[in-house]
């Protein structure tokens, strides 16, 4: 018998099964029905059956459950105020892709100290999502690790596949089986064909290897996802939220026999990573919608209680409450102003 063959694995630890974690943090039948209703609303917007805009709004990443719940309470009130023109979903991202290094998100490193207590992270994430949706606030996540959805997907109303993983066949087949609408971001270079191909791929039936609710390895066979859509997030050289960019994206989707369905990310390269420019992007997006760009189905904004961002200190207790530890975000007051003005323009049919 061969020994020490896994020379770069320091340890292997058991992880609670999705079934066991769900028993610890269950979702009631009443809450399930509320989540299903939110999913239908999102799907109807993506498919053009509901003419409201889908507004994906929230922190770049969640690291403090208390601050996340505080943010959700604020968002609930604002969402109701603009509900005639927007359906608001809270951005609840727990996984952060990294080019080289850095904090990888609450699920992988909840203590923010490199201890990688994934057991704690997955429990914290599930409980937090249940707490947020119990307020009546729909949630959306980025799907990065293909195993994680088994632990949290029943709470989601929407999800995204990031710019760095849109080309991954694993994530395309995962999306084909997701029970929610899935947005695919264009690549970091700004190229959109990869994301459009991903949407096309995810519409087809597929099969992939994963774990079942008991934690056993299983083969999943999917029916395909008819609510895939494109997220324009800009690229290395230029933003891509302008009218000609939207027209080019819609034309490519039509060429691929896909119904044009586009969400504009007001952050990332579209804002040139300057959070304050998100309002400028949103203004341009709303202007296009007012002028009849029906292929635009919504927008994304990175927002937190406090504007800006902070480095993670040696002692996480020194973190500023409600301030992002990843991308710069606009603060809550700016968020209220931006969504209220956008809703007013949509009602009046013109910019103020």
Q: Which domains does the chain carry?
A: 19-348 (3.20.20.70)
Long-range CB contacts (< 8 A, 24+ apart) of 248-257?
248/192, 249/192, 249/196, 249/295, 250/295, 252/192, 252/193, 252/196, 253/196, 253/199, 253/295, 256/196, 256/197, 256/199, 256/200, 257/200
What local confidence, expressed as pLDDT, does residue 5 receive?
A: 83
| Tens digits of residue pLDDT in 173-201 | 999 999 999 999 999 999 999 999 999 99
- pLDDT (mean) for 289-313: 97
Confidence of residue 351 (pLDDT cuts 50, 70, 90): low
Average pLDDT over residues 279-284: 98
Query: Tell me, what's the pLDDT at 97?
Result: 84
Using one digit for the tens of pLDDT, what is the confidence trace for 265-277?
A: 999 999 999 999 9
pLDDT at 131: 98
Reported as a pLDDT band with limits 50, 70 and 90, residue 2 is: low
Helix, strand or coil, per DSSP, at residue 54: strand
pLDDT band at 282 (very low <50, low <70, confident <90, very high): very high
176 near 155, Cβ under 8 Å? no
Asked whether the predicted pLDDT for residue 330 surpasses 80, the reply is yes
Number of residues that make up the chain: 352
Please, is 24 exposed, middle or buried when counting C-beta atoms within 10 Å of its C-beta (0-12, 13-18, 19+)?
A: exposed
Q: With cut-offs at 50, 70 and 90, classify the pLDDT of residue 337.
A: very high
Give the residue ranges of DSSP H helices in 205-242: none
Q: 218: pLDDT confidence band, cut at 50, 70 and 90?
A: very high
Spell 312-331 as b/e; 16+ CB within 10 A means b. beeeeeebeebbbbbbbbbb
For residue 343, pLDDT beyond 70: yes
In this prediction, residue 6 has a pLDDT band, given cuts at 50, 70 and 90, of confident
What b/e readout covers 177-190, taking b as 16+ CB neighbours within 10 angstroms?
A: bbbbbbbbbbbbeb
What is the overall mean pLDDT for the chain?
96
Which pLDDT score, from 0 to 100, does residue 101 have?
Answer: 72
Q: To 10 degrees, the CA torsion angle through 100, 102, 107, 112?
A: 160
Confidence category of residue 99, pLDDT binned at 50, 70, 90: low
d(C-alpha 326, C-alpha 103), whole Å:
8
Q: Interhelix angle for 278-290 vs 332-348, to 10°? A: 10
DSSP reduced 3-state for 139: strand
| Alpha helix (H) residue ranges in 191-235 | 193-202
Which band of pLDDT confidence, cut at 50, 70 and 90, is reported for residue 236?
A: very high
Distance, CA of 256 to CA of 143 (rounded, Å): 24
Higher pLDDT, 11 or 55: 55
Nearest to 107 by CA among 69, 139, 152: 152
pLDDT above 90 covers what percent of the chain? 94
Q: What is the pLDDT of residues 30-50, one digit of tens each?
A: 999 999 999 999 999 999 999
Query: What is the value of pTM for the model shown?
Result: 0.96
Dihedral of CA 347/305/268/276: which sign? positive
């Amino acid at each position: 018998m061969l020994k020490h063959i896994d020379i770069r694995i320091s340890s292997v630890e058991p992880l609670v099964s999705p079934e066991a974690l769900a028993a610890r943090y269950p979702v009631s039948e009443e809450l399930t029905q509320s989540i299903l209703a939110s999913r239908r609303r999102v799907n109807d917007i993506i498919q053009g059956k509901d003419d409201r805009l889908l507004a994906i709004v929230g922190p770049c990443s969640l690291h403090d459950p208390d601050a996340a719940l505080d943010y959700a309470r604020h968002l609930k009130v604002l969402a109701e105020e603009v509900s005639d023109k927007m359906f608001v979903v809270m951005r609840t991202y727990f996984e952060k892709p990294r080019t080289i290094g850095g904090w990888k998100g609450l699920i992988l490193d909840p203590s923010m100290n490199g201890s990688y207590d994934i057991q704690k992270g997955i429990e914290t994430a599930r409980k937090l999502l249940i707490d947020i949706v119990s307020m009546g606030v729909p949630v959306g996540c980025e799907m990065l690790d293909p195993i994680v959805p088994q632990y949290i997907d029943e709470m989601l109303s929407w999800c995204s596949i990031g710019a760095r993983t849109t080309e991954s066949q694993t994530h395309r087949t995962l999306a084909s089986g997701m029970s929610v609408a899935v947005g695919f971001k264009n690549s970091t270079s700004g190229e959109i064909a990869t994301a459009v191909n991903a949407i096309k791929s995810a519409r087809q039936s597929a099969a992939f290897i994963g774990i079942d609710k008991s934690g056993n390895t299983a083969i999943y066979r999917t029916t395909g996802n008819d609510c895939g859509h494109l997220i324009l997030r800009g690229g290395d050289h230029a933003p891509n939220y302008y009218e000609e960019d939207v027209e080019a994206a819609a034309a490519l989707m039509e060429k691929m026999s896909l119904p044009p369905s586009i969400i504009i990310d007001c952050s990332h390269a579209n804002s040139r990573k300057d959070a304050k420019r998100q309002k400028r992007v949103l203004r341009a997006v709303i202007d296009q919608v007012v002028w009849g760009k029906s292929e635009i189905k919504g927008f994304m904004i990175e927002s937190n209680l406090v504007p800006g961002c902070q480095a993670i200190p040696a002692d996480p207790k020194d973190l500023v409450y409600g301030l992002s530890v990843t991308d710069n975000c606009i603060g809550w007051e700016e968020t209220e102003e931006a969504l209220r003005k956008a809703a007013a323009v949509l009602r009046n049919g013109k910019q103020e």
